[in-house]
Structure 1
Amino acid sequence: MKKTTLTAIFALFTVITFAQKKIYQLSSHILDVSKGLPASGVTIKLENYNEDTKSWKLVDEKVTNENGRIGDFLSSEKNNNGIYKLTYYTSEYFKKNNTQSFYPWIEVVFEIKDENHYHVPITLSAYGYSTYRGN
C-alpha cells in the first residue's frame, strides 16, 4: 500500500474518531489544598431541581479520577438549562486519609442558563471549602 493511501486512511480514521467524541457541558474537580493534591476517589452526585414539584431528581453519580476530576456530566446533545446541585461526599475521602473533618458532604447549587461549558470545582480542606465557576 502506498504511503499516501495510508496517510489518507489515517486522516479519515482521525476525523471519524474525533467526530464521534461525545462532548459534555458540565465538569468538576476537587483540589485538596491541605495537601496541594487532587482529591481522587470522591463520589459526586448530580441532581436537577424540578420547580413544579420543588424536589431534586438524580441525574448522575460519579467518582473523581486520579486527577480529582469528573469531566463527563451532562451530554451536550440536549438542552440542559436548569438548576442543578452537585453533592461532594467528602467524609469517606477524609476517613480514607485518616483525617478528621467537619463537613460530611458539600452541596453546591448553580444554574445553567445557556449552552456554554460549566466547570464547578471546589478547593477542599478538612475544615473548609471554596467553590467558583471555572472554565
Structure 2
Amino acid sequence: MSTATTASVSTHILDTSVGRPAEGVAITLTARSGGDAEWVTLGGSKTDADGRCKDLPALSEGTTHVRLDFETETYFSNKQSAHTSKTEAEAQQDAPRVRDSGAFFPEVAITFAVVPGEHFHVPLLLNPFGYSVYRGS
C-alpha cells in the first residue's frame, strides 16, 4: 500500500547578479496528467525574503508533468527602479539596453516530469541575461 500518491514541488530563486535571494517573484504552477493532456493552472505564489516559495499548491493525483512560470521582468524592473542612482543611470546610458526592465528573459518557464510519492525542489539561479535550473533536494 502506497502512502504517498502525489508528487510535491518547491522552488527558490537566487539572483546571481547580486548574490542574494530574489524576493517578490510571482510564480505560477501548472500541471498535466500525460503528455497530451491540457495544462491546468493549480495556483501560484510569490517568493519570500529568502527567495523561497513555500506555499505552492499540492499536485493532483495522476500528475505527470509540471511547469513553473517565473515572472522575471517585473522583478528586474522593480529592482532596477529601486536601486538606480545618478551614477548608475549615467553608466547605463553607455551600455547596450535590452529592455527598459533590464531583463533579457521577461519570463522563465521550466517544465519537468514528476513521479508519484517524490518531492521535486527546482531552484532557479537568475541574472538579467541568463538563468540555470537544476533538481535540488
- Mean CA deviation greater in 45-54 or 91-100: 45-54
Deviation, 1:80, is 5.5
Q: Aligned residue for 1:11?
A: none
Q: Is the 8 A contact 2:9 2:120 kept in 1?
A: yes
Correspondence 1:60 to 2:81: no
Moved over 3 A (4+): 50-54, 78-81
Query: Residue 112 of structure 2 aligns with which residue?
Result: 110
Equivalent pair of 1:88/1:107 in contact (CA under 8 Å):
yes
For normalisation by structure 1, the TM-score amounts to 0.74
User: Which of the pair has more CA radius of gyration?
Assistant: 1
Determine which structure has the larger strand proportion and give its number.
1
SS state of the match for residue 54, structure 2? Answer: strand
Question: Aligned Cα RMSD in Å?
Answer: 2.1
Native 8 Å contact 2:34 2:64 kept in 1: no
Letter in 1 for 2:118: N
> For the residues of structure 1 that align with 2:62 and 2:26, how far apart are their CA atoms?
22
Counterpart AA for 2:130: G
Query: Do residues 82 (structure 1) and 64 (structure 2) align?
Result: yes
- What CA distance in whole angstroms lies between the structure 2 residues aligned with 1:125 and 1:115? 32
Return the letter of the residue paired with 1:81. Answer: T
Residues 32 and 63 in structure 2, CA contact (< 8 A), matched pair in contact too = no
Aligned length: 111
Q: Given that residues 83 and 112 in structure 1 are in contact (C-alpha distance below 8 angstroms), is that contact kept between their aligned partners in structure 2?
A: yes
The 1:52/1:32 distance shift into structure 2, 3 A limit, reads closer
3-state DSSP of counterpart to 2:56: strand
TM-score (norm 2): 0.73
Q: Which amino acid counterpart does residue 105 of structure 1 have in structure 2?
A: E
